Amino acid sequence: MNLKSDKKALDKNAYDALKTKEFENILYKLTSAKVSLERDGKFLIKTNGNLTIAGITKEITMDVYCVVNKDTSISCSGSDKLNMSDYKVKPPSFMFGAMKTGDAVTFDFVMVYTK
């Protein structure tokens, strides 16, 4: 997992809030997918799966966009919005609460599959 903002103290508190010492990764286990060709060689995969954050698992749907590259690797990317409180994560703060994040967050991901 990699979190980066312009506030290192906030990043550290976010790692603590996500209980990364106990739950090192955010996990997504695919349960079903429907693939459709979009255009220009891009594919849309409508996925259903189980997202686990800080040890709490919720069923979600998520769109993943993929393209087959010239070297036959496959690049996939997506984005999803969620509320940290749904995963029993307290939104992090620093400077004794003067700076804090909201409950709603967007996570983005990129994956590249190669042979």
Q: Which residues pair with 20 in a beta bridge?
A: none
Distance CA 11, CA 3 (A): 6
Band of pLDDT at residue 73, cut at 50, 70 and 90: very high
Band of pLDDT at residue 88, cut at 50, 70 and 90: confident
Distance CA 95, CA 49 (A): 37
Domains of the chain, CATH where assigned: 25-113 (2.40.128.110)
Distance CA 104, CA 106 (A): 7
Q: Given a cut of 80, is residue 56 above it in pLDDT?
A: yes
Is the entire prediction scored with pTM above 0.85? no
* pLDDT, mean over the chain: 83
Which pLDDT value is given to residue 107? 80
